Structure 1
């Protein structure tokens, strides 16, 4: 008798659960607990002495590149940055350990969100073998302890579906709006200023920026200007002025990122998969 195996190389993703997406109690629960998972202050002022904001940004950019190259779920990178910020807010860390911490946070986030998590060996390769597998596994327990094993953090991605389903968006544009909003969320995760914002505000601002960027406000009167802002503010109980400010900051980050990307493409040679960006190595060596 032959056994038929249904396993394929393609990774099967879970489908959205309508029982969760269409129950407003889920959204209200997320709004209630979201502040438990964000730093309450700038840890650069009162906890970290060796690490500077630009170092966090370098490591965050490297982490984003790893997640993109490994085709991780969209939730992995923002969740990993949440772990990194929460750890740095309670534990003084040497700059030579920052990339190791970033690798550990990706390791943990991928375990929670991925069907096939990133392996310790692969993450070590992405650091140009500057860290060892055993070192990463030891730090995994340290980070888990500091996070009190509370890994199911609320991130901006958790709000996207709840927000877009309440807007009068064309069905053929829903996937595009989600993709653009997730891109904005990832960009926000690289900037420390957004680490102190409620995830719901970042998600709402990202959706607003996505709709405006795609010029969908020309499709429906309800998606134009103040109408859109008022709707989004009501969905997540966000102050209108705060939402507008957040959206403007997100758009500025996008412009800055595109400018840096153009400059980087002019002078940067292609790097091998196993290499670590020079600026991240500089953080380790400074």
Structure 2
């Protein structure tokens, strides 16, 4: 008898809701129990890394995000790749010239783990303007895995979003909450300040910021319920949330002053605000972040 698999690897449709996963609190509790094992062990600037500064990490992580956007990667690839990057930098000193090579290798590894079709080595070399070679990437792939001790199934802020939204009634009040939360989780992983933050805190703050930005009827109590589910200190989540809002506000202001590029692509400094606007525009919502809500975005 012939066996036929009709699944298409390029099909990005979400899987059906799994009642076993989303109705069993042990799954969420396991994520909370495991997340501390994958948090970077130190703030490596000036200690392990003598040649790398926080702004360099910001630049390379933003480049990683843009590569993921251009290649239409799954949302979960980018946070995992940044987790690999930070954990490696806690364990091995490198020069600034090797930082983009490391970032490309982390993207390659994360895409192999979190999506059906991995990124191409040749494409990643192209995104670096061929400043690295395929042989460099293959050699560093083994180096990165060894420094990570092959612990590559890390828990990230992305992993919490669906588990939280499936357990709260107010998530149905706006179809944009999930998408905005994912975008803001990605934003958190570009910020050097959050290197050692718990993924559950980043997720709670991102969901809270998304809800507050869209301002559905339950916005006032949303952060409290998210923090209760994820066992996150509300004060810690509020601190991260305020930082998210300040970054988005800053990028929104930058977006208004950017000249239009020939290829109509937005530069990295305003990528988050641009994505939020695009999501709103696709669903018939106002096109600018200040129209999406009154104050924050």
The structure 1 segments of at least 4 consecutive aligned residues displaced by more than 6 Å after TM superposition are: none
SS in 2 for 1:47: coil
> Are 1:33 and 2:34 matched, yes or no?
yes
Contact kept in structure 1, 2:9 and 2:117, CA below 8 Å:
no
Unaligned runs of 5+ in 2: 269-297
Shift of 1:256: 2.1
SS in 2 for 1:231: helix
Q: Distance in 1 between matches of 2:101 and 2:62?
A: 14
* Corresponding position of 1:215: 215
Please, which of 239, 244, 248 is the counterpart of residue 238 of structure 2?
A: 244
Q: Distance in 2 between matches of 1:12 and 1:140?
A: 27
* Corresponding position of 2:49: 48
SS in 1 for 2:46: helix
Shift of 1:9: 7.6
1:31–1:6 Cα change, 3 Å: closer
Shift of 1:131: 0.7
Contact kept in structure 1, 2:171 and 2:177, CA below 8 Å:
no
Contact kept in structure 1, 2:88 and 2:144, CA below 8 Å:
yes
Q: Distance in 2 between matches of 1:201 and 1:8?
A: 35
After superposition, the C-alpha distances for 1:220-278 in whole angstroms (9 at most, x for unaligned) are 4xx31xx3332122111111211211211111121122233444x32755499xxxx9x
Contact kept in structure 2, 1:47 and 1:89, CA below 8 Å:
yes
* Corresponding position of 1:78: 79
* Corresponding position of 1:110: 111
Q: Distance in 2 between matches of 1:112 and 1:249?
A: 30
SS in 2 for 1:46: coil
Contact kept in structure 2, 1:11 and 1:115, CA below 8 Å:
no
Shift of 1:94: 0.5
> Are 1:231 and 2:225 matched, yes or no?
yes
Contact kept in structure 2, 1:53 and 1:192, CA below 8 Å:
yes
Q: CA RMSD in A?
A: 2.3
Contact kept in structure 2, 1:34 and 1:154, CA below 8 Å:
yes
SS in 1 for 2:45: helix
Unaligned runs of 5+ in 1: 278-286
Q: Distance in 1 between matches of 2:160 and 2:5?
A: 37
TM-score (norm 1): 0.86
Please, which of 251, 257, 264 is the counterpart of residue 257 of structure 1?
A: 251
Q: Distance in 1 between matches of 2:172 and 2:100?
A: 41
Q: Distance in 2 between matches of 1:4 and 1:138?
A: 37
SS in 1 for 2:259: helix
The count of corresponding residues between Structure 1 and Structure 2 is 264
1:137–1:261 Cα change, 3 Å: farther
* Corresponding position of 1:91: 92
Contact kept in structure 1, 2:121 and 2:134, CA below 8 Å:
yes
Q: Distance in 2 between matches of 1:58 and 1:268?
A: 20
Q: Distance in 1 between matches of 2:99 and 2:262?
A: 25
Shift of 1:10: 4.1
TM-score (norm 2): 0.83
* Corresponding position of 1:281: none
Q: Distance in 2 between matches of 1:23 and 1:234?
A: 16
Q: Distance in 2 between matches of 1:65 and 1:103?
A: 12
